[in-house]
Every structure is written in structure tokens, then in C-alpha cells.
Amino acid sequence: ATDSRRDAGFSIFYMGINLGSFIAPLLTGLLARDHNWHLGFGIGGLGMLVALLIFRVLAVPQLQTFNELRQENDNWNKPVVQNKNAPKIAFSFLLSVAVVIVLTLFDVIHINPVEVATYLTVGIGIGIIAYFAYLLLFLNLEQHDKFKIIICFVLLAASALFWSAFEQKPTTFTLFAQDYTNRMFFGFEIPTVWFESINALFIIIFAPVAAWLWARLGKSNKDPSYISKFIIALLFAAGGFLVMSFASRFAIAGGLVSPFWLVGTLFLLTIGELCLSPIGLSTMTKLAPDVIRGQIMGLWFTGTALGNLIAGLIGGHVSADNINHLPNLFMRCVLALVVGAIVLFLLKKPINRLMNKSTSKVQPELETI
């Protein structure tokens, strides 16, 4: 598939993912408000179990049939490299986690969540850099594959920055909705968690529009490059936090503010998300060499995890008792996102220059990353 069709396809795929993201907060919010959070989390676990069963019973046979019709090898669910120790490693990891959980529940050990998040953030950041260095220096990749790896690293770093801001949504934004937003609607108090569904609703509405737009621009050879789309994403996110900066100033001055401040912010963040997340998935699947495609996808989601951890650390400084620092917090996010966009813009030409120096094996479609 062409770049534009690939991006369009991943936008539709991303819309499907968010169908569940739209429904889940609505159910969880009602159950948590009328009963308790245990039931809310239980429904989430049940939903994941149902999804797993649907995939195994319905999706797997369909994928096998698809491969048969295309006369392709049925290797989509087989590892590229066999590792006989993988089950032992996975079991040891899960057992270690279970032991830590049990010891924590019985107060044998005490865990400071902030310290854990801080160490994880540093550890994951160092781990990502070290692993990319390993791929470049010790894996004996072809020169053109090394250039692809460099591009993947740049996009992953931009993604981590985006998510570190975007994932203020379930922390800072939720607290803002809870304590500083007028949630009454014709006598009904909107559960705070319902604001989590707004982002997914916007994705469901606008993902088809994004898919159509990328395909349409691709036909006329005007489809923006991947880095350009990431720059757009960071700038839209910066716009969203600029809106929240104004909203927090109004909250300081006059109490509860309209929910449309949050809705407008979430709209801008969603547009940014559609320019980054499905595009990033599309890019990783295309750039990653076959032998390490699974590892590159894992690194991509590790970058997302890094952004979530940073967002949690930032959100931990927000409290209902002190709103005065929120405008500065949001403006720092704006500044970080704008600086990230500028850095990406400055890196466009060097990356294209690197790609032009690659061997003749480089695919032409990579020349305008």
C-alpha cells in the first residue's frame, strides 16, 4: 500500500480501538458513582477477557482465511526468531510481580509510588536509548536499515513528549473537571470520568475524516511527511494546553468554569493524536526491518509508556487545594511541545540528507520522511 493508504488504514484501525475507550468510561463512571470502584475495575477486566475470546474465536480464523486467499505463508502469529527461554522468562517475570504484590498487600514491604514512577521513568529512558544503540552498533544491520532505525528513534522521542502532555488528561484534567468545572446538566451531575469518553468520541468522529484526508492528499502527492504530521500533532497539543492555561486562570478568578473549556482542549488534543498515534503505528510497521519488526513495535509502545509515566509525575503535583500553579504548569507544557515541534522541524533536512546518503536498496518512499 502507498503511504497515504497505509496512514488512512491505520486511522480507521485506531477508530476501532477507541470504540471501547468511548464506552468504558461511561460504564465505569456510573458503576463507580452508584456502587464502588471495585465493580468498575471488574467490568474493565471482564471486557478485556471478552475481547481476548473474540480475537481467538473469530479473528484468528479470519486471518488464516485471509492468508489462504492471498496464497501467503501463515506466519503472522509466529516469531521471527525462536527463543526457547521466552516462556521461562515470562513466567519468572510474572511470578516476581505476583510476589511483590502479595508482600505489599501484607505490609511486608512498603512501596512509594512516586519513587517507583521516577525510577521507572529514568530506567525506561535509559533502556530505550541503550537498545537503539545496540540495534545500531551490534546487530549488523544494512546501512539503509540503520537510517530507518534512526528515524524510528526520532519519532519515538517525539511521541514520548506528546504523550507526556496528552496523558495529563486522566490526571490533571480529571482533577480540574472534578473540582473546578460546572458539571451540572439540567439537574444531572455529569460523572467526572465521563470526560474521558470525549476524546474517544472525537476520534470515532474524526478518524474517518483523517483517513479520507490522507488518502485524498496522497492521490495528489500532497500528503505531508511523517515528521510534518508529528510537528502538527505537537502544535495542536500545545494549543490545547494554551486553552487550559486560560481556563485555569478563569477558575482562579471566578470559581467553576464551563465544561466547554475542557471539551475544546480535548478536541485539539484529539486532532493532534490523530496526526501522531496512528501515523506512528503506520511508520513503525513500514520502517522496521523484518528481523526486528516486533522489537521496534515494542519500543514504540515503550515510548508511550515513558510518556505516561512522565505525565503521572507531572499530574502528581496537582491538588484540589492549590490551583494557583496550574496556569504556569500548562504554559510549561505549551513551551515543551512548541520546542519539540521546532526541534523536529530542524531535523527534517538532516534526516532527509541521511536517507539520500543511504545505499541504493533504500526504498524511494523513504526519501521524504
In a domain? residue 94:
no
User: Which amino acid is residue 70, in one-letter code?
Assistant: R
d(CA 233, CA 173): 19
| Range of weakest confidence among 77-81, 146-150, 236-240, 281-285 | 77-81
CATH number of the domain bearing residue 199: 1.20.1250.20
Return the pLDDT at 355: 59
pLDDT level of residue 326 (50, 70, 90 thresholds): confident
pTM here is 0.81
Q: If we measure between CA atoms, which residue out of 132, 150, 183, 168 comes closest to residue 295?
A: 132
Return the pLDDT at 365: 46
pLDDT of residue 217 exceeding 70: yes
The SS3 of residue 247 is helix
pLDDT level of residue 362 (50, 70, 90 thresholds): very low
Give the pairing type, strands 184-185 and 188-189: antiparallel
Q: Look up the domain containing 153 and give its range.
A: 3-73+113-368
For residue 224, give the DSSP letter. P
278: left (phi > 0), else alpha (psi -120 to 50), else beta?
alpha
pLDDT of residue 271 exceeding 90: yes
Task: Write down the mean pLDDT value for the chain.
Answer: 83
Question: Cβ of 311: how many Cβ atoms within 10 Å?
Answer: 21
pLDDT of residue 71 exceeding 50: yes
In a domain? residue 106:
no
Q: What is the mean pLDDT of residues 304-332?
A: 83
More confident residue, 368 or 241: 241
| Tens-digit pLDDT profile for residues 112-170 | 888 888 888 999 999 999 999 998 888 888 888 888 888 889 999 999 999 999 988 88
The total of structural domains in the chain comes to 1
d(CA 232, CA 213): 14
Helices (H), the chain: 3-34, 37-54, 60-69, 86-105, 113-138, 143-166, 174-180, 196-219, 226-254, 260-287, 293-315, 326-356
Return the pLDDT at 357: 58
User: If you average pLDDT over each of 89-93, 182-186, 331-335, which comes out highest?
Assistant: 331-335
pLDDT of residue 364 exceeding 50: no
pLDDT level of residue 255 (50, 70, 90 thresholds): confident
Return the pLDDT at 127: 93
Q: Which grid coordinates are listed for 69?
A: 486467499
Q: If we measure between CA atoms, which residue out of 270, 297, 272, 275 comes closest to residue 286?
A: 297
pLDDT level of residue 342 (50, 70, 90 thresholds): very high
Q: What is the mean pLDDT of residues 256-271?
A: 93
pLDDT level of residue 294 (50, 70, 90 thresholds): confident
pLDDT level of residue 4 (50, 70, 90 thresholds): low
In a domain? residue 95:
no
| Tens-digit pLDDT profile for residues 10-58 | 777 778 777 777 887 777 777 777 677 778 778 888 888 988 898 888 8
pLDDT level of residue 267 (50, 70, 90 thresholds): very high
In a domain? residue 203:
yes
In a domain? residue 350:
yes
To the nearest 10 degrees (0 to 180), the angle between helices 3-34 and 196-219 is 170
Q: What is the mean pLDDT of residues 187-196?
A: 82
Return the pLDDT at 133: 92
pLDDT level of residue 214 (50, 70, 90 thresholds): confident
Q: What is the mean pLDDT of residues 75-104?
A: 80
Q: Which grid coordinates are listed for 45?
A: 477486566
Return the pLDDT at 359: 40
Return the pLDDT at 76: 61
Return the pLDDT at 241: 95
In a domain? residue 34:
yes
Q: What is the mean pLDDT of residues 268-275?
A: 94
